[in-house]
Structure 1
Amino acid sequence: MRSFVADPVSEDLLEHGEGPRWDAVRDELVCVDIMAGAVHRWAFRGGRLAPVRSYVLDRPVGAANPLADGSGWLLAAGTGFVRLDEDGTTTELVDAAPGRGEVLRMNEAVCDPAGRVVAGLMAYDTAPGSGWVVSGDLDGGVRTLIPRTTIANGTAWDSEGTTMFWSDSGEGTLAAFGYDPATGALGARREVLRRDRADGVADGIALDDDGCVWAALWGGRSVLRVNPTGEVLAVVDLPVDQPSAVAFAGTTLLVTTSREGLDASTLAGQPLAGALFAVDVGVSGPPARPFRGELPERLV
């Protein structure tokens, strides 16, 4: 098993950094600070992240995925989807849970190879089975993909788009589903990895170009590389308790982390909690897939 150590590459500390996406068109990293409602753009130069621009919404933002035409991003924000233009203009789109914004929020959203967006809703109190996963389809519609989830989290597809990997941090599971890229339909589920929360559970994930999953371990101070059957092939060590998600920029693995919920004494022992980290892992991964669906110009 290979071992790596990730180094901090950002000056800023995010409260709950999440959803890193490498935008190949802009040659930038975009990530979110969920409860701050913030979307951050970074340039990665000389092994450091330099801020480009930030946007702040009036609600939590779970993820930002680039639009196929390069004009902005599709946000999973509040309980639905919002378009964010480069100049900061926002457009309300589809609400996946109307009237439930006080108890639910979007937690993660990733685009599949066809350009759909798959997003998870979760309850603020993380009650078991209180969330679900939706698919934002190419025609602008939204449908339930996985019912009764707890902390719907990282999502990624293999290069053919026929297998979807998905983590539920509340259940401590990383699973793989058969997937039809033509229709967005799920097939059979199999468990890839199960971990106890005391040892760190799979949070955000990314696939490398060899088809292996890199999973940030929330509560586990590390990122694991596992093959599709769950065999651990590599580990990346970090000096913070809460790695939250990962993304590839070539062979560089970028890792977001979180300070959320840590008390003062814990933070004193890990002052880099909330920083972004990076390490060259010697294998490349694809950039973020853009959203290619319709964007209805109204809240429905």
Structure 2
Amino acid sequence: MEAALRADTRAVIGEGPLWDKDKECLYWVDILGSQLHIFTPADGINRSVKFKSFVTALALYSKEELVMTMKDGFYLYNLQEDTLTKMKQPKDMREDIRFNDAKCDPSGRLWAGTTSMEGKEEEASLYRLNTDGSLAKIKDQVSTSNGLDWDRDRNLMYYIDTPTQEIVRYSYDPETGAVSDPKTVYRFPKSQGSPDGMTIDRDGMLWWLCSEAAVPSGLTRFRIRKSASIEVPAKYVTCCAFGGKELNTLYITTATEN
């Protein structure tokens, strides 16, 4: 398997790939570029929408609407009308903190974490936006909230806080969204670089991305032990998501700065 360049946008921090199966397009963002990108594989065209604030991650809300985490909270963006509406902001949000990675759980709740813009550790949090619109803080003393995904069959949630160099697994209750019993399932040696985004495939295998490794940056497939890897010709790899008609294309975002 080889990674091929599909959209040469030179994003500052590419992130948040999200496949829309109905429109057969990939949404993704450039956080520091404050842009939403829309890539259509059929014609290879990538178009973008510029905002006044950072756009950090995405979730599908309706056929024409996306929930976007921006610098300070959750927003609803209408693609057709080009309108942006603020939905929710954490009460403890600070100017030196911004949102980072986010993803919906199997029941439609949007989990989103933050990071310090000054690189301070244990200053950020992980939140859950529930389907009734309420917002819950799930975890504090986070440094850089990143990879998230769920094993539907075993009711497990996986989570990465990058500076910890760990993937942590939680027991997950799909009815309530509650998580418990955290366990470290993999610890990254420094030689493997810094873990960032993560996704899970139909076989229940995790795919994660590591930047600045002793070997070229890339992506690794894992359950109990590493079973496959892909090198990516970029120093900083950030996030990944499956897409395409058969959901067998893995889209990978990268960054030009750390």
Same-fold status (TM-score > 0.5): yes
Amino acid at match of 2:253: T
Closer, same or farther: CA 235–98 of 1 in aligned 2, 3 Å: same
1:91-143 per-position Cα deviation (integer Å, ceiling 9, x unaligned): 0111114561x200000110011100000011112211111100001110111
Identity of aligned residues (%): 26
How far is 1:198 from its partner? 5.0
How far is 1:237 from its partner? 0.6
Structure 1 residue matching 2:132: 3-state secondary structure: coil
Which one scores higher on RCO, CA 8 angstroms, separation ≥ 6? 1
CA distance in 1, matches of 2:31, 2:59: 14
CA distance in 1, matches of 2:73, 2:101: 11
The match for 2:211 is: 218
CA-based RMSD of the aligned residues comes to 1.5
Structure-to-structure mapping, 1:1-300, within 5 angstroms: 4-45=1-42, 49-51=44-46, 53-67=47-61, 69-86=62-79, 87-97=81-91, 100=94, 102-160=95-153, 162-197=155-190, 199-220=192-213, 221-227=217-223, 229=224, 231-249=225-243, 250-261=247-258
CA distance in 2, matches of 1:129, 1:84: 30
Amino acid at match of 2:35: A
Q: Which of structure 1's runs of 4+ aligned residues deviate more than 4 A?
A: none
Amino acid at match of 2:221: R
CA distance in 2, matches of 1:154, 1:92: 24
Closer, same or farther: CA 99–152 of 1 in aligned 2, 3 Å: closer
Amino acid at match of 1:58: K
Amino acid at match of 1:166: Y
Structure 2 residue matching 1:148: 3-state secondary structure: strand
1:165-210 per-position Cα deviation (integer Å, ceiling 9, x unaligned): 1111121111111101110100111112211445312211110000
How far is 1:5 from its partner? 2.3
CA distance in 1, matches of 2:154, 2:97: 29
Structure 1 residue matching 2:32: 3-state secondary structure: coil
Question: Where does structure 2 lack aligned partners over 5 or more consecutive residues?
Answer: none
